[in-house]
Amino acid sequence: MRWGLALLMLVAGVGHLVATDDFLGQTPTWLPLREELVWISGLIEIAFAIALVAWRSRRREVGWALAAFYVLVFPGNIHQALNGTVTFGLDTDAERWIRLTFQPVLIAAALWSTGTWFTRRRAPDASPRRSRRARSTGTASG
């Protein structure tokens, strides 16, 4: 799934750079520098694609960041649905509203595929290298 998300992000990122007008249809009209925002978000998506497959040591952080990114771009999808903008072949209200239901799926996929839901960081006091006495007194074991 992580590789699939990486491919999706790569295709979407390149799409931002070569089909800017389509993505402008999703960008709320009240935002300044709309075209520049489309390009920047495209570059960010390409960076996510690379990070998903190449940055193994920070996979959890990439998952959280990608999930946050999906939340941040969601208003653009809402804008498209509310204004009836025809882009990406979404030419009916039903299609545009149904598309909104996929955003939570993308968020969950970003968290699940990067192991974010399954791994927890160990608390400093739970370190296996410290003795029980050292943990209770706060001193290093010898």
Looking at the structure of the chain, the number of domains it has is 1
Residue 135 in domain: no
Phi, psi of 46, deg, nearest 5: -65, -40
CA-CA distance, 83 to 99, in Å (whole number)? 14
Whether residue 139 is contained in a domain is answered as no
Asked if the structure places residue 9 within a domain, the reply is yes
Range of the domain at 51: 2-117
The answer to whether residue 85 sits within a structural domain is yes
The confidence band for 127, taking pLDDT boundaries of 50, 70 and 90, is very low
For the entire predicted model, the pTM comes to 0.72
The verdict on residue 27 lying in a domain is yes
| Token duo for residue 142 | 């010898």
The answer to whether position 134 is within a domain reads no
Summarised one tens digit per residue, pLDDT across range 35-57 is: 898 899 999 999 999 999 998 88
Place of tokens 């955003």: 103
How far is Cα 97 from Cα 81, in angstroms, rounded to an integer?
6
Q: What is the DSSP string of 50-96?
A: HHHHH-GGGHHHHHHHHHHHHHHHHHHHHHHHHHT--BTTB-SHHHH
Query: From the CA atom positions of the chain, what is the Rg in Å?
Result: 20
**pLDDT for 142 beyond 50:** no
Mean pLDDT score of the chain: 79
In a domain, 141, yes or no: no
